[in-house]
Chains A and B, each alone.
Chain A
Amino acid sequence: MTDVEPEPVLTVRGLSTEYATDRGQVRAVRDVSFELRRGERLGIVGESGSGKSALALSILGLIEPPGRTVAGEVWLNGRDLRTLSEARLNRIRGKEISVVFQDPLTALNPVRRIGPQLAEAITMHQDVGRAAAKQAAIELLDDVELPRPADCYRRYPHELSGGMRQRVMIAVALANAPDVLIADEPTTALDVTTQAQIMRLIDKVVDERGTAVVLITHNMDLVADFCDTVQVMYAGQVVERGRREQLLSGSAHPYTAALMVSVPSLDTDRAAPLRSLEGLPPDLAVEHTGCALAPRCVLGRERERCRSESPAMTAVVGDAAWVSRCHFAGEQHRLTMETTP
């Protein structure tokens, strides 16, 4: 990244999404705000159920009933997507912002050939003929390093491996060189070797196109390798955001700190039990007072303020870009620094 901050290409403000369930409204995304600059790579981390995927769909405006985005703004290239008509959104989705989903095995239509599924992504947004679209599609398949791309074009999804299908999905997402790519757990369904290859591929193709990426994952190692900025989500809220080095080495939120120590590494003492956060994530159908993490928090479990007062996002140490939703962010930061070798 350069020293001069480029202008934001995607700005999310106060985005909230609810799902209607038998037990009432479940608020999966709570007042999420962030900015993504041109070419930036933002990692969104959290355990399952923390609202990461719901956030991705909310940004794209693809929340389906019983879900509903109830508040917020999503500014992309100077327009608030939340105020646009469905017809205009269809012209923006896939062109200026696109997405790669978790499971490549179900992401392609099983009764249609690979080629047309990719080529239609081009013809939907660009005024090109069939032959030109096919040519462009084959070049894209070559770009994502599929062997014999012209042959792949004629294949059905079930004839390709999971890793190959995810390459196809990446080609689909990048067909119109979008400004923003949302990668929602793009490697979770793949084996470890394939994971590394797919992440290298994403790294290469977004670099070539200058695409800004939102990488949604629960995998801290991926974030450490790939992202410039990290945003940690818990119970639908962003709890900490900062540059990668800041969060990885000196987290100022107890939840981020707990996520970090729960990841085993080669240096981890194998005799010692893996450390994990005790308890369960809060029930999102019920409104809570105080900090959402309080019942599970090492710092706040016993503190009255954590139980009664909901913490706001506050700058951690001087740097306004590093924020934490913790009453005792400074204390946690010092604690992390002491315990991290």
Chain B
Amino acid sequence: MSRFLLTRALGAALTIVGASIAGFVFMRLLPGDPARLIAGEHASDEAVELQRQALGLHEPIWRQYLMYVSDFVTGDWGFSYSRGEPVFDQFVNALPATLELAFVAVGTALTASVLGAVLATWSRGGVVDGLVRASSYVGLGTAPFWLGLLALIVFFERLSVLPGPEGRLSPGVAAPLRVTGFHLVDALLAGQWSTWWDAVQHVLLPGLTLGFVLYAWLVRMIRASMLEFVREPYALVARSKGRGRWAVVTRDVLPNALLPAITASGLIVAELLTSTVLAETVFNWPGVGRLVTDAILQQDFAVVQAFIMLSAFVTVTATVVTDVLYSVADPRVRVRAT
């Protein structure tokens, strides 16, 4: 098992290094001159050249890369000229916002999809199965941003039960003392119940909108593998032992069907950093997705590059964790890996 972990970790590190090189080179190859952008459109060539020296852009590209890596590791992610803030600080603020959204989305999606798949398998071909399938089609066939707008119209404009697109808290409500960066956690730690409730209300619509799309995808997959496994002989054997239909689905079939779901969840988590952007835009959520799309439009190299590193890191970590989880859940993989 330790050898297994070691090889996975080594592979992960190499992947991150590769991603950093690729990200660095691509950003340098893109048209657009950051020195000119910073110096201003009407600056003289001398002024631009000075700016270029200041940025280190006159150095050979491999030295630029090494400088970049050493700065990155020490927490100096560069300066974002479009927002006039260090890049690191921007991510420190935006990442918890996105993660908070992502946790709510993934949490509800996983719970709902497992429950939905179990119910669908139990009633296979019946009414409940039909409802689960229909909900999945709706989620798969609907653009998340449109769903978000629809949710806003219904719950904010018509019913007025949930807040509108105002970000993480109502205007005028102060953010709780920062400990983790998650408002839901920090408000609890500070004992500020009204702030916590405000944060819950704000995260509901974007979180559930995003979660519904994930649910649609997951429930379809889990249901499909459950319907396959429910025909396996061991399910029949369990029935012949005297186990009821429901217990066979939850205790014999589900553990097997969750194996592919573990892999899928890893992919989902890895993709969430970027896929939240539409929901973030609709709900005015100050997360990573919006930070990066803004930076791309502004040709703000430093932010985009930091994001490439970050998403490489998250993707690789999610994949390794998925692998390890999978090997814990499936005894057959454990044998092959060690």
Contacts and interface: CB of A to CB of B under 8 A. Distances in A.
B171 interface: no
Given A103-B233, A107-B234, A108-B237, A125 B242 contact: yes
B255 A124 contact: no
A92 B242 contact: yes
Given A111-B331, A158-B331, A101 B236 contact: yes
Interface in B231-287: 232-234, 236-245, 252, 255-256, 259
Contact of A101 (B233, B243, B252): B233
B6 interface: no
A243 interface: no
Interface string B177-215: 000000000000000000000000000000000000000
B179 to A, nearest CB: 39
A112 B254 CA distance: 12
Contact of A93 (B125, B234, B242): B242
A87 B238 CA distance: 15
A86 interface: yes
B242 A156 contact: no
Contacts of A173: 240
Given A111-B256, A112-B255, A124 B233 contact: no
A169 B233 CA distance: 12
Q: Is the interface of B mostly helix, strand, loop or mixed?
A: helix
A90 B243 contact: yes
A109 B239 CA distance: 12
A89 to B, nearest CB: 8
B21 to A, nearest CB: 40
Interface centre among A60, A120, A159 (most CB of B within 10 A): A120
Interface string B310-330: 000000000000000000011
Contacts of A120: 241, 243
A87 B243 CA distance: 9
A66 to B, nearest CB: 9
Contact of B239 (A62, A91, A169): A62
A94 B242 contact: yes
Given A111-B330, A156-B331, A98 B240 contact: yes
A110 B256 contact: yes
Given A86-B245, A87-B244, A107 B331 contact: no
Interface string A107-132: 11111100000001100110000000
A236 to B, nearest CB: 20
A112 B256 CA distance: 9
A107 B238 CA distance: 9
B332 interface: yes
A172 B242 contact: no
Nearest to B241: A94
Interface string B94-126: 000000000000000000000000000000010
Contacts of A52: none
Contacts of B236: 62, 101
Interface in B17-48: none
B87 to A, nearest CB: 45
B329 A172 contact: no
B243 A124 contact: yes
Nearest to A104: B233
B335 interface: yes
Contacts of A101: 233, 236-237, 240
A65 interface: yes
Contacts of A172: 237, 241
25 contacts: A60-B240, A62-B240, A65-B125, A86-B245, A90-B243, A92-B242, A93-B239, A93-B242, A94-B240, A99-B240, A103-B233, A106-B233, A107-B234, A107-B237, A108-B234, A108-B237, A109-B234, A109-B238, A110-B331, A112-B255, A121-B241, A121-B242, A156-B331, A156-B332, A158-B331
Top 3 nearest A-B pairs (CB, nearest first) are A94-B242, A94-B241, A156-B331
